[in-house]
Amino acid sequence: MTRIGFATSHRFAELVADDQLAVARLRAMGADVQPIVWTDEVSRVDGCSIMVVRSCWDYHRMPDRFHEWVRALAARGVPVWNPAAMIEWNTDKRYLRDLAARGVLVPDTIWLDRGEQCELAALLSARGWPRAVVKPAISATAWRTFVTRPETARSDQAALDEVLAETGALVQRFVGEIEAEGEWSLVFFDGAFSHAVMKRPRQGDFRVQEDFGGSSEPRLPEPAIVEAAAYALRQVPGAPLYARVDGVAVEGAFTLMEMELIEPSLFLATDEGAAGRFAQAILRRL
């Protein structure tokens, strides 16, 4: 029997409900699917025909260890999806700079390297930005992400300095359409569009994640949105098993916020056929 590993974290050792839908479909198709906590002994992966990286939602707190684990799987002959090189590229949000160079529309962004000096107040003044979002280059679920304004920039400086002492950072023009219209998440399997949801932050917040009170609902995007997301995905080096393309319509143009290739929620429960499409895509990789 084919043994498939679903990589996860200790907090979700039995997998999140969404991934359990895909597991059920795979088992119905005759596969043996086992959750694998990535921080456990690497020998647990032995016997797996494939490892699908799923809810490793603590990887950003120890990225070097995570990359070592992914490489160790490859060394043991266990194929990883998405592939190790793609995961490492996608870990650092400065991948957005690569995609922008390939013609993908992204928010106006200042890219900062680890240890670099940046005065937030001067930056906002020079750019004329009434609001900006500060993000660590390596982050997930809005970890250490905050909004700054000209009137708060000086008090926010210490938070940016703390981030830059450990990793790079992004300072982006705040995209107000997230508050007004919401953010698209379009899910692709093997490069083909599967389904989408619209995510919205709670009143008074900018974060769309459920952890911070955000909400989501299934929504069918216009063809132009799907094509723009598909174009962005085609600029990714390699062929991902799965991808979630997050973006916002700004003046009618799809602006990429995140290209999620490591461990995104795939919102399988929002579309009747999504879990089956994901399962079939995994089996094709065998």
| DSSP string across 164-225 | HTTS-EEEEE--THHHHT-EEEEEEETTEEEEEEEEEPPTT----SGGGT-EEEE----HHH
Options 3.40.1000, 3.30.1490, 1.10.1200, 1.10.10; CATH for 109-173 is 3.30.1490
Q: What are phi and psi of 240, to 5 degrees?
A: -70, 145
User: Could you tell me which residues come within 8 angstroms of residue 155 by beta carbon, excluding any fewer than 6 positions away?
Assistant: none
The overall average pLDDT reported for the chain is 92
Q: Determine the pLDDT at residue 54.
A: 96
Q: What is the pLDDT of residues 262-276, one digit of tens each?
A: 999 999 999 999 999
Q: Using the predicted structure, report yes or no on whether residue 1 has a pLDDT greater than 90.
A: no
Domain ranges of the chain: 3-82, 95-105+177-261, 109-173
Phi, psi (rounded to 5 degrees) for 177: -65, -20
Percent of the chain at pLDDT > 70 equals 94
Residue 27 DSSP code? H
pLDDT tens column, 141-194: 666 788 999 999 999 999 999 989 888 899 999 998 888 889 999 999 999 999
Distance CA 196, CA 148 (A): 30
Top-confidence range, 146-150, 208-212, 232-236 = 232-236
| Residue 130 neighbours by CB under 8 Å, 6+ apart | 124, 149, 150, 174
* Cβ 173 vs Cβ 127: under 8 Å: yes
Say what the pTM is.
0.93
Specify the fold of 3-82.
Answer: Rossmann fold (3.40.50)
| Region 95-105+177-261: CATH code | 3.30.470.20
Describe the chain by its helix, strand, coil percentages, rounded to 5: 35, 25, 40
Distance from C-alpha of 54 to C-alpha of 16, rounded to nearest angstrom: 9
Residue that the structure tokens 């008074």 belong to: 204
Cβ 67 vs Cβ 80: under 8 Å: no
Q: Does residue 202 have a pLDDT over 90?
A: no
